Amino acid sequence: MSYSARLFRSGAALLVSTALAGMLGCKDDAGSAPSPPPMPQVEIVTAMARTVPDEPEFIGQAEASRPVEIRSQVTGILKAVLFSEGRETQKGAKLYQIDPVPFEAAYKSAQARIAEAEARLVQAKQDLARVKPLLVEQAVSQKDVDDAIAEDLAAKAALQRAQADLIKAKFDFDNTTIVAPITGLIERSRYYEGRLVSAQTDLLTVIHRIHPMYVVVNVPESFLLKRRQDSIAVGLQHPGLAQLKGTIIFADGSTYPHEGVLDFADVGLRTETGSRRARFVVPNPDGVLLPGQFVTVRFKGAMKDHALLVPQRAVQQGPGGPIVFVVGDGDKVEIRPVKASSWQDREWIIESGLRSGERVIVSGFHTVTPGAPVKPIPAAQSTDNGKPGNGTPVGVADHAAEAKPEASKDSQ
């Protein structure tokens, strides 16, 4: 048989086999109905009420716990600036020197007037002592005795006035050297050598005590009103202002190692901002916090009862706001609009729209349809990025570990 004949026979046999297979297939399709699609499988967690810390955050600003203005107590010529600007200065360190010559002269003059007044007083006492016995013998008149008494009193008053002048002169002379009243960072000097400075008027410089530091926050009135509602609705446990603490968070997200303690809160709201001012005292031994620095303050100490938490991945963004998918009666899917107030670690705190004990879908959203049944399985313990070992979704059943392989297979 030729090659062409063999090729023709092979092709004919292939066509016959294909036709038979097509006929058999058509028969099977006509003889049985198509199988239904498999029921979607989703991972769920059970929302359970818990007691969680209530830790709101606000923007705060650091300020020196004691800013001290340095002014001269005397009017005079500035002779010397004795400190390094912008550095830390110690309490008692010399800062400025006012020309002491005129004040030293006034001090010595006041000392001389003291000696003069004392001598006058001695003379007045002696005169009074001489004339009193003579009045009994009628050797002097009553007027002479009265004059001696008046002179004695005047000499005492003159001595007191001289003593007061000496105190003032010594005060002025001592204050020609201006010293630091506290330990802290000192600003630049506003005045330098040769300048006439006025007593109690000209500001020479400012010292800032930065250990400890103050961190001041302004709490809006809207938040205060919401806290009052929460204390009734969700059982907010507040330890009192004196027990509140604050964690300091820097702009780069790092946390300051020292906690602050709330030591002051305004008794009312500020009319210009509609907020209540609160102040934390924060240790600053290393000088990390600086005056004027903006930080985030996380309030610590309050607890919220009956808080519903769900994993972050369970909360989706719908047209009208946050929503969650709930597996309801008959394992049918429902869409619930919720109010998610804040984060707690890797979970959302749900304020409304969800009840304790309801099953919330955390995986398999693309396979569900509202009102359609699904096959719910407990979610495995994992983080939102799928790496095990960090975080625990709310409401995971005790047998979640047994269902983990099946859940992993479904996610694939």
For residue 153, the SS3 value is helix
Regarding whether 314 and 292 lie in a shared domain, the answer is: no
- At residue 241, the pLDDT reads 63
Domain count, the chain: 3
Half-sphere exposure of 78 (CA within 13 A, CB side): 23
CATH code, domain carrying 396: 2.40.420.20
Regarding whether 316 and 351 lie in a shared domain, the answer is: yes
- At residue 234, the pLDDT reads 55
In a domain, 377, yes or no: yes
- At residue 399, the pLDDT reads 32
| End position of a domain, from candidates 175, 191, 226 | 175
Regarding whether 104 and 59 lie in a shared domain, the answer is: no
In a domain, 312, yes or no: yes
How far apart CA 384 and CA 388 sit, in angstroms, is 9
In a domain, 370, yes or no: yes
- At residue 233, the pLDDT reads 55
Regarding whether 407 and 311 lie in a shared domain, the answer is: yes
CATH code, domain carrying 251: 2.40.30.170
User: Contact at 8 Å (CB) between 219 and 278?
Assistant: yes
In a domain, 352, yes or no: yes
Regarding whether 299 and 212 lie in a shared domain, the answer is: yes
Structural domain span for residue 351: 42-52+307-411
Burial code (b: 16+ CB inside 10 Å, e: under 16) for 144-169 equals bbeebeebbeebeebbeebeebbeeb
- At residue 357, the pLDDT reads 86
Give the β-pairing of 375-378 and 41-46: parallel
In a domain, 194, yes or no: no
- At residue 251, the pLDDT reads 92
In a domain, 109, yes or no: yes
Residues 6+ apart with CB under 8 A from 20: none
Regarding whether 403 and 343 lie in a shared domain, the answer is: yes
Regarding whether 152 and 124 lie in a shared domain, the answer is: yes
How far apart CA 197 and CA 393 sit, in angstroms, is 69
| End position of a domain, from candidates 269, 304, 339 | 304
Regarding whether 222 and 141 lie in a shared domain, the answer is: no
User: What is the tens place of the pLDDT at every residue in 86-144?
Assistant: 999 999 999 999 999 999 999 999 999 999 999 999 999 898 888 888 877 777 788 88
Tokens 């694939």 belong to residue: 412
| End position of a domain, from candidates 252, 277, 304 | 304
How far apart CA 59 and CA 57 sit, in angstroms, is 7
User: Contact at 8 Å (CB) between 240 and 249?
Assistant: no
CATH code, domain carrying 151: 1.10.287.470
Regarding whether 382 and 325 lie in a shared domain, the answer is: yes
In a domain, 134, yes or no: yes
Global confidence as pTM: 0.63
In a domain, 183, yes or no: no
- At residue 2, the pLDDT reads 46
Q: Which helix (H) or strand (E) holds 12?
A: helix 3-31
Regarding whether 407 and 313 lie in a shared domain, the answer is: yes
User: Contact at 8 Å (CB) between 262 and 246?
Assistant: yes
Mean pLDDT by 10 residues, the chain (412 residues): 44 42 46 70 86 82 95 96 95 96 95 93 89 78 85 92 95 96 95 94 95 93 75 59 84 93 88 89 93 92 77 87 90 88 77 86 86 87 39 35 35 34
Regarding whether 349 and 294 lie in a shared domain, the answer is: no
Regarding whether 332 and 262 lie in a shared domain, the answer is: no
Give the β-pairing of 316-318 and 321-327: antiparallel
